[in-house]
Homo-oligomer: A and B are copies of this chain.
Amino acid sequence: MTTMGGQVMEMELWLTDKETEHFKMQYRVKEVLYRDRSPFQEIAVIDTAEFGRALFLEGVIQTAVRDEFIYHEMLVHVPLTIHPNPERILVVGGGDGGTVREAVKHPEVKRVKMVEIDEQVVKVSRQFLPELACKLDDPKVELHIADAIQYVKHVDEPYDVVLVDSSDPFGPAVGIFTEEFYGNVAKALKDDGLMVAQCETPFYTPQLTRDVYRAIRRHFPWVRLYTASVPAYSTAPWGFMLASRRELENPWPRRELGFPTRYYSPEIHKAAFALPPFIRELLDEGEGR
């Protein structure tokens, strides 16, 4: 901080994240808390003025303390309230710990295995994002540092629910958004198992949404898209692809949660599956209709 002509001047530091080539978001930076390159990617923790501490991988926001509850509650509580008895959970990625934190809240859950490729993301989250990483040492949780793309090829005891909490489709997450991966997840699930996968925004990446839908449909007889707006991520609602190994009558919750939430509610759960015609058409194209 310096003064010029009696006026206090402060350096303005902004981090730019491209929503698309033609539309950017800029976060005012209070402090760069951490910045390093792991064997897999550039990791940064930025204290942002609007969203608080936030994790960036390769310069792209992954999670921010102010609104991470929206993404994590919707990724976890939707499939876990649909599944009749979600005992064994696999988390693919999820290095910040937010997904695990929500999953262990369910009394039905006995075991959460988290397979994260980048140990440094976990370490950094423990240090700078304790609100998210706080349940990584829960007795229900087993943390396994490995490539989940390889791990799902050889699962001995199948899971009830697989939560795919990957980063965006570049770098180490490229192999997540593939038909082969979804096929291996299907085999890693019990006969009544569910998978949910974050899949970017149908508005800005319609082709990705269509491709992911098509790829998952090859291995699961029942697939539904639901959305939630996560302000730190995008100006368009975020997409979650939910897949079941058997046909479901509907994707409505089968039980109420016994703990408080800030975004999720049974009403929000149902509303999240309402898709506007312009997004529904995308999926119809994904079905080849």
Residues of A within 8 A of B (CB): 14, 16, 19-28, 48-51, 67, 70, 203-204, 229, 231-237, 260-265, 267-268, 270-272, 274-278
B28 to A26, Cβ gap below 8 A?
no
CB distance from A28 to the nearest CB of B (A): 4
- In the assembled complex, the Cα of A234 lies from the Cα of B230 at a distance in Å of 11
A274 to B277, Cβ gap below 8 A?
no
- Nearest CB to that of A73 among chain B residues? B276
- In the assembled complex, the Cα of A22 lies from the Cα of B25 at a distance in Å of 11
CB distance from A43 to the nearest CB of B (A): 22
CB distance from A239 to the nearest CB of B (A): 12
CB distance from A107 to the nearest CB of B (A): 20
- In the assembled complex, the Cα of A23 lies from the Cα of B22 at a distance in Å of 17
A276 to B23, Cβ gap below 8 A?
no
21 pairs from A and B in contact (CB 8 Å cutoff): A19-B50, A20-B50, A22-B48, A22-B50, A23-B25, A23-B26, A23-B28, A23-B51, A25-B26, A67-B203, A70-B276, A203-B231, A204-B231, A229-B229, A229-B237, A231-B234, A233-B235, A235-B235, A263-B276, A263-B277, A270-B271
- In the assembled complex, the Cα of A19 lies from the Cα of B27 at a distance in Å of 10
- Nearest CB to that of A266 among chain B residues? B274
The 6 residue pairs across chains A and B that have the minimum distance between CB atoms: A271-B274, A22-B49, A271-B271, A22-B50, A22-B28, A23-B50
- In the assembled complex, the Cα of A229 lies from the Cα of B274 at a distance in Å of 13
- In the assembled complex, the Cα of A264 lies from the Cα of B278 at a distance in Å of 9
**CB neighbours of A268 from chain B (8 A):** 274-276
**CB neighbours of A27 from chain B (8 A):** 22-23
From known contacts A276-B263, A278-B262, infer whether A14 and B25 are also in contact, taking CB-CB under 8 Å. no
**CB neighbours of A277 from chain B (8 A):** 260-265
CB distance from A128 to the nearest CB of B (A): 19
- Nearest CB to that of A232 among chain B residues? B235
- Nearest CB to that of A265 among chain B residues? B277
**CB neighbours of A262 from chain B (8 A):** 276-278
- In the assembled complex, the Cα of A51 lies from the Cα of B19 at a distance in Å of 12
CB distance from A262 to the nearest CB of B (A): 5
CB distance from A19 to the nearest CB of B (A): 8
CB distance from A47 to the nearest CB of B (A): 11
B23 to A235, Cβ gap below 8 A?
no
CB distance from A111 to the nearest CB of B (A): 29
- In the assembled complex, the Cα of A274 lies from the Cα of B236 at a distance in Å of 18
- In the assembled complex, the Cα of A232 lies from the Cα of B267 at a distance in Å of 27
